[in-house]
Structure 1
Amino acid sequence: MPSHELTASRDEADAAGAGAVRLDHVTHRYGRGGEALTAVGPVDLTVPAGEFLVLVGASGCGKSTLLRLIAGFEQPTHGSVRVSGTGPRPGRTAGVVFQTPRLFPWRTVRGNIDLALRYAGVDRALWPRCRAELLGRVGLEGTEKRRVWEISGGQQQRVAIARALAAENPLLLLDEPFAALDALTRERLQEDVRRVTDRTGRTTVFVTHSADEAVFLGSRIVVLTRSPGTVALDLPITLPRGDIGAEELRGSPEFAELRTHVSHAVKAAAAA
């Protein structure tokens, strides 16, 4: 078999795995006629099952648009998006965490998680065990009875992550979920997300404008150009993920080198 056919076959297999994502010649525009604005594209991208992909770039480069396309909240103007080999279905093919927690303030932590379990079709008899497991994953044991306004912003975002994990779909999408948090809370939640996704093996697509956050979290980084967003850099990250502490990783020369490389790439892509 010719080499290009072998490559195509591997791409198709990668795109069909549980939680895998494939974007083929994707372009997305807002508006019509002469007032149409091309937000992203064309973009070709394959995210194998289990990968932690970080989309990074300057504000307005189309990162969040790509995430919405993968979630199925919007349809591409041209091209196709596939998740696990089929078209994405909102609320079904991926768990999504937004920039703000978007919790129901009149419900307790338990009520917010239980609602997610109900929508996920989990047997009601299993809710207590599933809820305890989810809250344990994000370090919120003992908070079940607390109201949303009784917990901190960082804790609220942890509830949002637990809620996104409630459905046993293999894809997790996060759109700058820590942007509004203080630096210390942000670092702690980065560590939580890294640990949880490594443990569950879910495919993850994470949007950020921070080179530091991208290098810490990702097993692969894609830098987007300014609008319309296209791929300026596709970089695999070979830093260890399971056998090194967060502080040791952040303090390593390899981390600093990659952070500088990605930062320069983001600035160059924004200026091009």
Structure 2
Amino acid sequence: MSSSETVTKAVEVGDAERAGSVRLDRVTHQYGRGRETVTAVGPVDLTVPAGEFLVLVGASGCGKSTLLRLIAGFEQPTHGSVRISGAAPRPGQTAGVVFQSPRLFPWRTVRGNVDLALRYAGVERARWKERRAELLARVGLEGMEERRIWEISGGQQQRVAIARALAAENPLILLDEPFAALDALTRERLQEDVRQVTAQTGRTTVFVTHSADEAVFLGSRIVVLTKSPGTVALDLPITLPTGKVDADELRESAEFTELRTRVAHAVKSAAAA
């Protein structure tokens, strides 16, 4: 191995051990046994540095959600290894997770749902009020602590789910098409919120979507997956402005349009290959 390769390898190993970093080495995941075995994803090699916003995008059935479950530790790879901050993922502890459905407890108030998350996260009870107020303010739900889940909109329910995922002070958050069931206007508003929240917290984020527009708007890096079994078809860094920007101006910019077209084309090509 040359000296430059040795340095590169050392940097990769260092990145893979930082808090919130993600590393997948030759990961393959299969369902079933014998003749019924189906390979859902892999082999996949992927390193996500701490603080990056990675978007996994591809057609339905390409293995995006499977990869997310592997990173969360909800499932184990058939072959290869998954490491979060240099260690094996621990379900419910390694990352905050937001699903397509909010999965809230309808018999609890907004406060009750967030407090339960704080309890499981091991936050001292004396800090709950302050921490809850901070989380709800971060997702734009100030003053709604006593509202019942059935009294708030679908978009607001997803905001509660995001607040709950942020309750544990771990450095990784995973989102599996969290806005898929929402109307276009609510979806765009929540995209802007997630973009701002992740920038403020600096957490590593892995976001699953099938939308090229959503991927380009949110991600600092996009990985397009092939059709099943999903492998990496495109690994694209995104250099759009970050921080507080006008969302409409960003979406209407020539650079955004060019990137969205490139990603959409890659998704279609990968699905047809």
Same fold, TM exceeding 0.5? yes
Structure 2 match to 1:46: 47
Structure 2 match to 1:182: 183
Structure 2 match to 1:26: 27
SS in 2 for 1:67: helix
Structure 2 match to 1:259: 260
Counterpart CA distance in 2 for 1:243 and 1:118 is 32
The answer to which of 43-52 and 240-249 deviates more is: 240-249
Counterpart CA distance in 1 for 2:252 and 2:245 is 11
- After TM superposition, give the deviation of residue 84 of structure 1 in Å: 0.5
- After TM superposition, give the deviation of residue 244 of structure 1 in Å: 2.1
Structure 2 match to 1:132: 133
- After TM superposition, give the deviation of residue 61 of structure 1 in Å: 0.0
Whether the aligned pair in 1 keeps the contact of 2:95 and 2:174 (CA below 8 Å) is yes
1:82-231 aligned within 5 A: 82-231=83-232
Structure 1 match to 2:234: 233
Counterpart CA distance in 1 for 2:245 and 2:195 is 12
For residues 91-135 of structure 1, give each alpha carbon's deviation from its aligned partner in whole angstroms, at most 9, with x where no partner exists.
Answer: 111000000000000000000000000000001011000000000
The answer to which of 156-165 and 10-19 deviates more is: 10-19
- After TM superposition, give the deviation of residue 10 of structure 1 in Å: 1.1
- Aligned residue identity for 1:4: E
When normalised by structure 2's length, the TM-score is 0.99
When normalised by structure 1's length, the TM-score is 0.99
Structure 1 match to 2:76: 75
Aligned residues: 272
Whether the aligned pair in 1 keeps the contact of 2:68 and 2:174 (CA below 8 Å) is yes
SS in 2 for 1:215: helix
Task: Point out where structure 1 has 5 or more consecutive residues left out of the alignment.
Answer: none
Residue identity over aligned pairs, in percent, reads 82
For residues 230-259 of structure 1, give each alpha carbon's deviation from its aligned partner in whole angstroms, at most 9, with x where no partner exists.
Answer: 000000000011142111111101000000
Alpha-carbon RMSD: 0.6
SS in 2 for 1:25: strand
Counterpart CA distance in 2 for 1:25 and 1:41 is 7
Whether the aligned pair in 1 keeps the contact of 2:25 and 2:46 (CA below 8 Å) is yes
Counterpart CA distance in 2 for 1:108 and 1:142 is 12
- After TM superposition, give the deviation of residue 190 of structure 1 in Å: 0.2
Structure 1 match to 2:11: 10
SS in 2 for 1:143: coil
- After TM superposition, give the deviation of residue 5 of structure 1 in Å: 1.5
Structure 2 match to 1:62: 63
Structure 2 match to 1:269: 270
- Aligned residue identity for 2:94: T
For residues 132-181 of structure 1, give each alpha carbon's deviation from its aligned partner in whole angstroms, at most 9, with x where no partner exists.
Answer: 00000000001100000000000000000000000000000000000000
- Aligned residue identity for 1:150: E
Counterpart CA distance in 1 for 2:25 and 2:63 is 16
The answer to which of 146-155 and 245-254 deviates more is: 245-254
Whether the aligned pair in 1 keeps the contact of 2:24 and 2:80 (CA below 8 Å) is yes
Whether the aligned pair in 1 keeps the contact of 2:196 and 2:244 (CA below 8 Å) is no
Counterpart CA distance in 2 for 1:112 and 1:159 is 8
SS in 1 for 2:97: strand
Counterpart CA distance in 1 for 2:186 and 2:257 is 21
- After TM superposition, give the deviation of residue 34 of structure 1 in Å: 1.1
- Aligned residue identity for 1:193: V
SS in 2 for 1:8: helix
For residues 32-63 of structure 1, give each alpha carbon's deviation from its aligned partner in whole angstroms, at most 9, with x where no partner exists.
Answer: 11110000000000000000000000000000
